[in-house]
Amino acid sequence: MLSHQQAATLSQVRAGTPIGELLRRYWMPIAAVSELEAKPVIPVRVLGEDLVLYKDSADTVGLLNRWCPHRQFDLAYGTIEECGLRCSYHGWRFDATGRCLEQPFEEAHNVKTTFKDRVATNAYPTQRSGGLVWAYLGPSPAPLLPDWAGFYVPGYTITSFVHVPCNWVQIMEGFYDPVHVEWLHDRWSYRVRGNDVPHSRPRHTSFRWIDFEYGSVFQRKLTGSDKWLADRTVVFPNIDAAGGQGWYMTWLVPVDELNTILAYRLTITSWKTPFGQIAIPPKATFCQPSIPCHRTVASLDPLRGPTADFGSHLISQDYAAWLGPGPLVDRTREHLSQSDTGVIMFRNKLFEQAEVVAAGGDPIATIRDPDKNRRITLPGARRNYGLNGEGLPGMVGEDDIMLRAFLPFDLPDSMRQAVAEAMSELVHDARPMGWKRRGRSKAQ
């Protein structure tokens, strides 16, 4: 159980707080590149800061304070030019470094004015990689933007930004909690569908984690076997890299203390597609012109978001775990047990790494050596993770619940269509939905 003080510290994300400063040492995905192509000015809120992301007509991306330094107009209503973003209130123009380039009336009034040189706005560096736009809100020099091997996996990639109205730590704690898979995802799935849980369903007897340079791999033992099953790879502090090699990664991007964006990036490779077909890994000639993006809201309240469907989507079951306790779980009321050793380890690591930052050091999983930053592979999890069962072999409804486990359940038709069209080029062998896996494909 945490004290009130520790619980409060854990939930903070703002500049100047221990965990807020720790989080500012990592690049965060804040939008999809395709979103900026469609709309060049996008308001974003990250780590409690209101910002505006833009791409000017010379293709430079900028991330500025959302409120114009003149009289606080909302720069989300700004317009792009060849260089920079122009405020629509009085026309001041700013570049991606936050410099004010122009103040039309001041310059008309006094050609010698230097006022613009004395007015700058806050700006943060950005980069584009893997179809995502990344922002770094910490002190200079920024660490390198990690170059994940998963970004090079051939396949059809989609991205999805899910707004989850709760603190990011309570979401991340689910990834450090292997036992919930047995109850929340396996046994509850039977019950929610009105079925009894078969006696044969496996139970956890043990789990452990193995640390590596950037995070941890979780392994579990189930009844009837003495074998450790590799399950899940987490990268500190905010990444679920379930696929090991990263064909599927989720970044938890704190919006503020009570809201989080789950940024998914999923590459559909050799898979039973959402259309019940088996796609082969695409040929080298396969080229995806643009990585689509979908935004949605996670909610247990049908008036606020798409209805969670506990019977057919794992992610809905997780929504219940994340949102059920409210936007900020009261950690002073918990009774932590043996099944929470991963959760305790994660909290301790956050506190410990926040101290490293406070002492002027680099926390773990920040990369500064370019030689280490080439197609970073991750150890661990079964490379079929999520494709053929999240963590328990033969989980209930494997043929359908698993199929959709990692696709947002309200994926718009346009994106389904895009996946379908891409897959129609790739489909190797269409089989009925009841197809069972016969072994790994060579590509995995």
Chain positions contacting ligand FES, by CB under 6 A? 68, 70-71, 73, 87, 89-92
Nearest approach, Cβ of 71 to Fe ion (angstroms)?
A: 47
Q: What is the SS3 assignment for 83?
A: coil
Q: Which two tokens stand for residue 439?
A: 């072994």
Nearer to ligand FES by Cβ, of 92 and 124: the residue is 92
DSSP string, 3-72: -HHHHHHHH--STTSHHHHHHTTS-EEEEEHHHHHH-SEEEEEETTEEEEEEE-TTS-EEEEESB-TTT-
- 68 vs 392 by CB, closer to ligand FES: 68
**Among ligand FES, Fe ion, none, residue 89 binds (CB under 5-8 Å by kind):** ligand FES
What are 279's two structure tokens? Answer: 């796609």
**To the nearest whole angstrom, how small is the minimum distance from the Cβ of residue 165 to ligand FES?**
31
Q: Which does 318 bind (CB under 5 to 8 A by kind): ligand FES, Fe ion, none?
A: Fe ion
Nearer to ligand FES, 122 or 129 (CB): 122
Tell me which residue has its CB nearest to Fe ion. 318
With CB under 5 to 8 Å by kind, the binding choice for 274 among Fe ion, ligand FES, none is: none
**Nearest CB to ligand FES, comparing residues 36 and 85:** 85
- Written as six digits, the tokens of 436 are 């069972």
Footprint of Fe ion (CB under 5 A)? 318
CB of 69 to ligand FES, least distance (A): 8
Residue 70 touches which member of Fe ion, ligand FES, none, C-beta under 5-8 Å by kind: ligand FES
163 binds, among Fe ion, ligand FES, none (CB under 5 to 8 A by kind): none
Nearest distance in Å: CB 67, ligand FES: 8
**List of E strands, 236-383:** 239-240, 248-256, 259-268, 271-272, 277-279, 293-297
Q: Which is nearer to ligand FES, 84 or 386 (CB)?
A: 84
The backbone region for 378, taken as left when phi is positive above 0, alpha when psi lies in -120 to 50, beta otherwise, is beta
Instruction: Tell the smallest beta-carbon distance from residue 185 to Fe ion (Å).
Output: 6
Least spacing, CB of residue 52 vs ligand FES, in Å: 12
> Which 8-state DSSP code applies to residue 187?
I
DSSP code for 391: S
For Fe ion, which is the closer residue by CB, 106 or 182?
182
